[in-house]
A and B are shown apart, each in its own frame.
Chain A
Amino acid sequence: MRTGYFPGCSLHGTAREFDESLRAVAGAIGAPLAEIDDWNCCGASSAHVVGQRLAVALPARNLALAEAQGVEQVLAPCAACYNRLAKARRVIEEDEALRREMPELLGRPFGNRVAVRNILEFLTDALPVIEARLVHAFGGLPLACYYGCLLVRPASVTSAEDPEHPTAMEQIARACGAAPVTWHMGLECCGGSLSVSRTGSVIRLGRAILEDARKAGAEALLVACPMCHSNLDFRQRAMTRDGRPPIPVLYVTELVGLALGIEPRRLGLDRHFVSPAPLLARRGQAPAGGRH
């Protein structure tokens, strides 16, 4: 199945390592990604405050482009992009008047035919291949799987298998030989875009998340959202001023990449603020060369 790729702003900017590790993994598992030509902003946190039609039309244009490109599904690795795209698809599906209006609004044909997938669904589909091509199994590395808010909620949009207790990330981690810990902050809010406007709130929320992961014995956090990563990695120094040891925050694609034997630098592991190098060294992985 041909998969379209919608990177969104994050994966071309602050979350470049997410983009790099995703491309590396996609290549290694033989699932090539076709980036959508001329993609635009998904609207994320601002469009739906401005207007509902804009909030639907922005992601819908990307879906229309993907349709024109002949793909059956679009992968949106960023949780916010995924949520906007999936939401738009759903709203248009349920609103016939809006659906009829769409081609004119977008200035191109639109059949709302392309499925929207998040990174966990993409990797879950590939689990048999990943397991077959495993090079480096993490010998029981204790990980805290952190979902955040937008990957699984609202349930009507994401159709997550159990929005209050998802297990998809745990299953991927387990396939890579890691040992996900039992903790309870996996669905808590990281503060999202408040990182800029109310940094103090983000620090408080992030500290509680890190604290619980640490208490559960996790040596790293596993995430699937650029916003979560940015808050927990970039802001972690402020959260751990009390001298507690830092916890590296890995993208799920980075973990899969390492398990598939891809060189850490190709996965962008040298781009993190909290360096995963000591952890990787401890776990018998070549440390990522420093770029800072």
Chain B
Amino acid sequence: MARIGVFVCHCGENIGRTVDASSVAEALRSHPGVVHAEDYRYMCSDPGQTLVREAIAANRLTGVVVAACSPHMHERTFRKVVAAAGLNPFLCEMANIREQCSWIHEDREQATGKAIAITRALVEKVKANTPLETIRIPIERRALVIGGGIAGIQAALDLADGGAEVVLVEKESSIGGHMSQLSETFPTLDCSQCILTPRMVEVAQHPRIRLYAYSEVEEVSGYIGNFEVKVRRKARSVNETLCNGCGACTQACPNRKVPNEFECGLGKRPAISVPFPQAVPNMPVLDRERCARFMAIRKGITKAVCGKCAEACTRGAIDFAQEDRFVTEKVGAIIIATGYQLYSIGKEQPEGEGLSGYGEYGYGQVPDVIDGLQFERLASASGPTGGRIVRPSDGRVPKRVVFLQCVGSRDPSRGIPYCSKICCMYVAKHVMLYRHKVHDGEAVVFYMDVRAAGKGYDEFTRRAIEEEGAIYRRGRVARLWRDGDVVKVQGFDTLSGEPLLLDADLVVLATAVRPQPGIRALAQKLSVSCDQHGFINEAHPKLRPVETNTAGIFVAGACQAPRDIPESVAMGSAAAAKVLGLFSKAELEREPTVARVDAAHCAGCFLCERVCPYGAVGRREVRDRAGRLVKVVAEVNPGVCQGCGTCQATCPGKHVEVQGFTDQQIYAEIAAL
């Protein structure tokens, strides 16, 4: 026989004002199965909790209903109290008579009646409840970090320094990301490489970090604490153990005309190359698309062509026959830190992204119209010009540079409504770098607003305007075109109300920040969601900024939204701290309110498998004693299941149910109303 205890809370005035708590207790006392009912001013307080504990012992209660606030507020509190008194915590339920009753009604008599009804319903539910045990899952204390930019580097180093093993996967041949391309950084103007490259070396030398550069995540299976990740190690055509990074092969390569991606197309590289001298690992990749030998093979020439790199290599490290290899790693947590790309605003755009480009700016056609990253390379001491700011068309020093902010960003009619956040700051930085190098040069900036919120940020943009003499024009540019030697800039100053036609020597476009190509495919592999622009969704925009909605998968840096370096680093550290917190436990504890399949009755239609948003439903073979296959049934992985109940609503035979929310329990609750 059920022996239920009911505890009605006044919540000070919150409930007591509109609900007569003692009447509720009085009414429940005569409810079948209730052996104890009382009310108290603050049930969640220490004396209140003591009342519950003592009543359980005194009355040998088999279930508890606390009529008080929402389960979101105090279910955990009272289940702990019940557990301390030796009762299974899942035999305790909250009857919400605050948010769903006292707060929203005025008539005391009616509200009291409703509170009684709600409490009775929960008493019936508790009668149907069964004890449930917390699920315990072992944890693999290793983490995967996807992306070796500054966010990924920070996360990997913090994790490794905190004692965790780290697998760092980077798709390019070197880690460092976009930060390694920058010349100086705002708002301090310290050299990007000087602060980044020591961190890169630390990654390479850390005993607890396993670095897979020039690799990509191929497949991910498993769940929090127990992921299995298949990594594709793309063929470098270079034997990693033999190569010592001497660079003889890159010197020997006769093809020196390949557009250099690291220099954003402003320089050339050989067909076998390292992206930059400080690369980590310092090991070349042979570009098979551009290598004479592979081009000959594609044309059907059987004779081995060229091979100058192999001749030059004293270690015999060049391996033309190398193929992609796969490694499998077991990890307990994953951090996504894949970073961003700049919106390439030429007229030609990849299909299906809803972007039309900005044909009127002539980017890609007018050589002296470049984007922000290209300007970084021009200004960088390690760049193609050795830090001399010159025009790509004729190598002349530009005497007037026009900077356009918000190109692509904040333009809903052309596909991107969001602010890219970093541009106001880096344009101010570009203006300073330019003025420091070209003293008689004129820098003109077209802007919508100057958004410089951050420590020392507004001071920085003000410095560009007030001390460095940059001319800021509020307005948009309609069109850019080449006219002989100059780039014509047709714009409008919305403060003075005058149309402008400027002759510029160089135009720099602050194009929008977008997530990396392939982000949606990666998100799908990881069962995390993206927003409409492809940025990874965080679990909560304010309170859970580095977690995703999939347990055990975290996010850091510009793949979540446009982020500058300080924010990316902060997110990298935050994600690492979250993972270390997860790893600090011996076992993962999970609420047992997950779905369970009744294997005896499951017909094997697998509708549940199709509808599960978390991929938690698998299949299991059922065999008789002789080992003959009887049937295949659905099976829920309790590590992955989030208890959403979609399978329960879908199953035609009602043979999969979320524990603690079975049909029987819910019907009992409804029937009591």
A residues near B (Cβ < 8 Å) are 155, 161-162, 164-165, 167, 182-184
A165: which B residues are within 8 A, CB to CB? 347, 358-360
Q: Are A162 and B356 in contact (CB under 8 A)?
A: yes
- In the complex, whether B479 has a CB less than 8 A from a CB of chain A is yes
Cα of A182 to Cα of B347 in the assembled complex, Å:
13
Q: Is B241 an interface residue (CB 8 A)?
A: no
**Contact B365 A182, beta carbon cutoff 8 Å:** yes
> In the complex, which residues of chain A have a beta carbon less than 8 angstroms from the beta carbon of B457?
none
**Sampled A-B contacts (20; CB under 8 Å):** A155-B413, A161-B356, A162-B356, A162-B359, A164-B358, A164-B359, A164-B360, A164-B478, A164-B479, A165-B347, A165-B358, A165-B359, A165-B360, A167-B359, A182-B365, A183-B481, A184-B360, A184-B479, A184-B481, A184-B488
Which residues in B have their C-beta under 8 angstroms from that of A182?
A: 365
Closest residue to A162 on the B side, CB-wise?
A: B356
Chain B contact residues, CB within 8 Å of chain A: 347, 356, 358-360, 365, 413, 478-479, 481, 488
Q: How far is the CA of A243 from the CA of B323 in the complex (A)?
A: 68
Residues of B within 8 A of A164 (CB): 358-360, 478-479
- List chain A residues, Cβ under 8 A from B347: 165
Nearest-CB distance from A252 to chain B (Å)? 20
Whole-angstrom distance between the alpha carbons of A183 and B481 in the complex? Answer: 8
A161 to B359, CA, bound (A): 12
Smallest beta-carbon distance B414→chain A, Å = 8
Bound state CA distance, A125 and B411, in angstroms? 30
With a cutoff of 8 Å between Cβ atoms, the chain B residues found around residue A155 in the complex are 413
A-B pairs with the 10 shortest C-beta distances?
A165-B359, A184-B481, A164-B360, A165-B360, A162-B356, A184-B479, A162-B359, A165-B347, A155-B413, A164-B359
Distance in Å: Cβ of A123 to nearest Cβ of chain B: 21
Closest to B478 in A: A164
- Besides the known contacts A162-B356, A165-B359, A184-B479, 7 further A-B residue pairs in the complex with CB atoms under 8 A apart: A155-B413, A161-B356, A162-B359, A164-B358, A164-B359, A183-B481, A184-B360
CB proximity of B226 to chain A, nearest CB, Å:
49
Question: Once the chains are docked, how many angstroms separate the CA of A155 from the CA of B412?
Answer: 13
A32 to B479, CA, bound (A): 40
Q: How far is the CA of A165 from the CA of B345 in the complex (A)?
A: 12
Compute how far the CA of A183 lies from the CA of B356 in the bound complex, rounded to whole angstroms.
Answer: 19
List of A residues within 8 angstroms of B358 by Cβ = 164-165
Q: Whole-angstrom distance between the alpha carbons of A165 and B413 in the complex?
A: 14
Give A184 to B347 CA distance when docked, in angstroms.
14
Distance (whole angstroms) from the CB of B145 to the closest CB of chain A:
40
- Which residues of the other chain, A, contact B481 by a CB distance below 8 angstroms? 183-184
Roughly how many angstroms separate A162 CA and B361 CA in the complex, as a whole number?
13
- Residues in A with CB closer than 8 Å to B478 are 164
Scoring A161, A165, A167, A182 by chain B CB atoms within 10 A of each residue's CB, the highest score goes to A165
Q: With A and B bound together, what is the CA distance between A125 and B636 in angstroms?
A: 54
Residues in B whose Cβ lies below 8 Å from that of A183? 481
Chain B residues near A161 (CB-CB < 8 A)? 356
- Taking the closest CB of chain B, its distance from the CB of A105, in whole angstroms, is 32
Min Cβ gap B507→A in Å is: 14
Q: How far is the CA of A161 from the CA of B354 in the complex (A)?
A: 12
Nearest neighbor of A216 in chain B, beta-carbon distance: B481
Q: Nearest chain-A residue to B484 (Cβ)?
A: A215
Q: How far is the CA of A100 from the CA of B13 in the complex (A)?
A: 55
**Distance of A171 from chain B, by nearest CB (Å):** 13
A189 to chain B, nearest CB (A): 12
Instruction: Report how far A155 CA is from B413 CA in the complex, Å.
Output: 9
Q: How far is the CA of A161 from the CA of B347 in the complex (A)?
A: 12
Shortest Cβ distance from residue B201 to the other chain A in the assembled complex, whole angstroms: 46
Hey, which chain B residues are within 8 Å of A167, CB to CB?
359
In the assembled complex, which residues on chain B have CB atoms less than 8 Å from the CB atom of A184?
360, 479, 481, 488
Residues of A within 8 A of B479 (CB): 164, 184
Name the distance in Å between A14's Cβ and chain B's nearest Cβ. 30
CB distance from A11 to the nearest CB of B (A): 31
Instruction: Tell me, rounded to whole Å, the shortest Cβ–Cβ distance linking A151 to chain B.
Output: 16
| Interfacial chain A residues near B356, Cβ < 8 Å | 161-162
Chain B: CB-nearest residue to A161? B356
Expressed in whole angstroms, the minimum distance between the Cβ of B563 and any Cβ of chain A is 30
Nearest-Cβ distance from residue B502 to partner chain A, whole angstroms: 14
A208–B347 Cα distance when bound, in Å, is 25
Residue of B nearest to A215 (CB): B483
Whole-angstrom CA separation of A237 from B356 in the bound complex: 39
| B490: min CB distance to chain A, Å | 8
- Chain B CB within 10 Å, residue with most, of A161, A164, A182, A183: A164
> Bound complex: CA of A24 vs CA of B419, how far in Å?
51
A222 shortest CB reach to chain B, Å: 18
Closest to A183 in B: B481
Output the least CB separation between A46 and chain B (Å).
27
Q: Given the complex of chains A and B, what is the CA–CA distance between A162 and B413 in angstroms? A: 10
Closest A residue to B356 using CB positions: A162
Closest Cβ of chain A to B134, distance in Å, is: 58
Closest B residue to A156 by beta carbon equals B413
- In Å, the complex CA distance between A164 and B358 comes to 8
Q: Which of A155, A162, A167, A184 has the most C-beta atoms of chain B within 10 angstroms of its own C-beta?
A: A184
Cβ distance A43 to chain B, nearest Cβ, rounded Å? 27
Instruction: Quote the shortest CB–CB distance from A38 to chain B (angstroms).
Output: 39
Q: How far is the CA of A164 from the CA of B356 in the complex (A)?
A: 10
Distance A183 CA – B366 CA, assembled complex (angstroms): 12
CA distance A164 to B360 in the complex (A): 6
Q: Smallest CB–CB gap between A188 and chain B, Å?
A: 9
